Amino acid sequence: MSKLDERALEYVAKYFKALAEPTRLKVLNALQDGEKNVGQLTEISRTTQANVSKHLSLLSDYGLVKRESRGNCVYYSIADPAIYELCELVCEQISNRMFHEADVKKIFMAN
Amino acid sequence: MSKLDERALEYVAKYFKALAEPTRLKVLNALQDGEKNVGQLTEISRTTQANVSKHLSLLSDYGLVKRESRGNCVYYSIADPAIYELCELVCEQISNRMFHEADVKKIFMAN
DNA sequence: TAACTATATAACTATATATTTATATAGTCA
DNA sequence: TGACTATATAAATATATAGTTATATAGTTA
C-alpha cells in the first residue's frame, strides 16, 4: 500500500465496509458457483426477502455484483472475482491465527 | 474462497470491519514506515487522543497491531504486514473502476 | 383485465459504533 | 513527594445501518 490521501482512505474504507457484513458475505459466497435470483439468495441467507434485496442493492451500488432481470426474476452474479482473492487472504490470516494465538480466537468468538 | 460456514463468515466479516474505518486505515497507513506512539498517531489522524486510543485498542484486539510501552509512551506497530496486501488489492480495484465506471465514482463520492 | 409471483422500497425499530469531554492511571523527573 | 506527560477508559451523544413489516412495482399467465 502506497501512502494514501484522505479521500482514498475513505474509498478503501467503504469498500471494506461492503464486505464487513455476514449476510453479504454469505450472498457473495453463494454466488461463487454462478448467478442466483433473489428468491434463491433469500433461502440461502435465511433472512427476509426485503433484507436480502437491501444487501443486494448495496453490493450492486458498490459494483460487487451484477444485476440482470429475466422474466419475472432478477439474477445476480459476481461482478469482479477479485473479491474472492480478498476473502482468501483474510481466511488464511484468520486460520493462521486460530492455530497460533488463543487470544485472537477469544476475540472472534466474542458475542 | 472455499465454501464457508456461518461461523467462518462472521469471523471474516469482523476482520473486514476492523479495516472498514478511515481513521483506522490512516493509522495503519502511518505505521507502514515503522512504529509510532499514540501522540504521533493522534497528530497524524487529526482527531482526539481518546479516539485514537480507542481505535488502537480495537486494532490491537484484532491482532492487527502490536503494543509496546517504553518509558512514558506506548508504541504501536504492524503485527501482520499481510494487511497491506489486502489494501493494495482494494486500491487496485478501486483505481481500475475510477477509470472505467463513472457510476462507481459517484457512489464513492457520496456523503 | 384480473389474479399471481418476484423484487424493490418506505417507514420504522433496534443496535452498534465513532466521536467528544472528562477523568483515571501510570510513568518520569524536579 | 509533587508536578508533569502520555495513554486509557467511562459516560454520554450522535449517527449509521441491519432487520422487520407493509406496500409498491413490474412481469406473467389465466
Task: Considering only residues A106 and B13, tell me which one the structure prediction assigns the higher pLDDT.
Answer: B13
pTM for the model: 0.86
Pick from B66, B63, B72, B83: nearest CA to B39 = B72
Amino acid letter for position B36 = K
Question: DSSP labels for B19-80?
Answer: T--HHHHHHHHHGGGS-EEHHHHHHHHTS-HHHHHHHHHHHHHTTSEEEEEETTEEEEEES-
In B14-73, the residues whose Cβ lies within 8 Å of chain A are: 14-17, 19-22, 24-26, 29, 32, 61-63
pLDDT per position as a tens digit, B26-41: 999 999 989 999 999 9
User: Is the pLDDT assigned to residue B100 strictly greater than 70?
Assistant: no
Task: Give residue B101's pLDDT band: very low, low, confident or very high (50, 70, 90).
Answer: low
Torsion, Cα of A48, A53, A59, A63 (10° steps): 160
Which of B32, B80, B90 has the CB atom closest to A15's CB atom?
B90
Amino acid letter for position B86 = L
Which of A13, A85, A107 has the CB atom closest to B62's CB atom?
A107
Interchain pair A9, B15: CB under 8 A:
no
Look up residue B97 and give its three cell numbers: 473502476
In chain B, which residues have their Cβ closer than 8 Å to the Cβ of A5?
Answer: none
Looking at residue B82, what is its pLDDT?
Answer: 85
Task: Considering only residues A104 and A67, tell me which one the structure prediction assigns the higher pLDDT.
Answer: A67
